Amino acid sequence: MGAVRDVPVHPEVEPLAFLLGTWSGEGHGEYPNSKPFDYGEEIRVWHVGKPYLGYASRTWALDDGRPMHSELGYWRLKEGRVELAVTHPTGVVEIEDGELDGMQVRLATTAVAMTPTAKSVTRLERDLKCTGSLLTYELRMAAVDQPLQYHLSAQLTRA
């Protein structure tokens, strides 16, 4: 009862179906006032036949496996625009909007809300590209009074 049945992808998000699956790989991050770091990452994208895709990412330190960042959210495709609605465990929720060009997506933050104790994030830009078996992204971030700049990049393969 309530199990996720074998249903077709909703036509509205069919152009995003290349994201579906479990992806794993490694990335590199840097930001002012912190040491550059390397991380492992797993990204899961799933669907239930409705006009959105579920999205979960978690990362861990490559040296000792301790959990680092994670994020949870949903992908939508409406009126030709990609919408990503996402929650960060730092107490930040965020709406990103962007364009889909084949299997490339370019997203940028359009709205942020946060808890009173969250570390302030003002803008993310995410360029994501898929070649079928390989998923790569670059993420730029403006946060804690720093201007928008390179923060993360990673390469993942379908598990």
Q: Which residues are at the interface with a copy of itself (CB under 8 A)?
A: 1-5, 40, 42, 48-50, 52, 54, 56, 58-60, 65, 67, 70, 72-74, 76, 78-79, 81, 83, 85-89, 91-95, 97, 110-117
Per-residue CA distances from 8 to 4, 14, 49, 53, 80 (Å)? 11, 9, 6, 12, 21
DSSP state string for 78-115 = ETTEEEEEEEETTTEEEEEEEEEETTEEEEEEEEEEE-
What does R_g of the chain's alpha carbons equal in angstroms? Answer: 16
Please say which residue, 15 or 40, places its beta carbon nearer to a copy of itself.
40
Find the shortest distance in angstroms from Cβ 112 to a copy of itself.
7
Find the shortest distance in angstroms from Cβ 102 to a copy of itself.
22
Find the shortest distance in angstroms from Cβ 125 to a copy of itself.
17
Residues in the chain: 159
Find the shortest distance in angstroms from Cβ 110 to a copy of itself.
8
- Residue type for position 61: A
Find the shortest distance in angstroms from Cβ 73 to a copy of itself.
5
Q: Minimal CA–CA distance to 40: which of 57, 56, 27?
A: 27
Q: How many CB atoms lie within 10 A of CB 1?
A: 2
Please say which residue, 29 or 73, places its beta carbon nearer to a copy of itself.
73
Please say which residue, 1 or 11, places its beta carbon nearer to a copy of itself.
1
Please say which residue, 80 or 132, places its beta carbon nearer to a copy of itself.
80
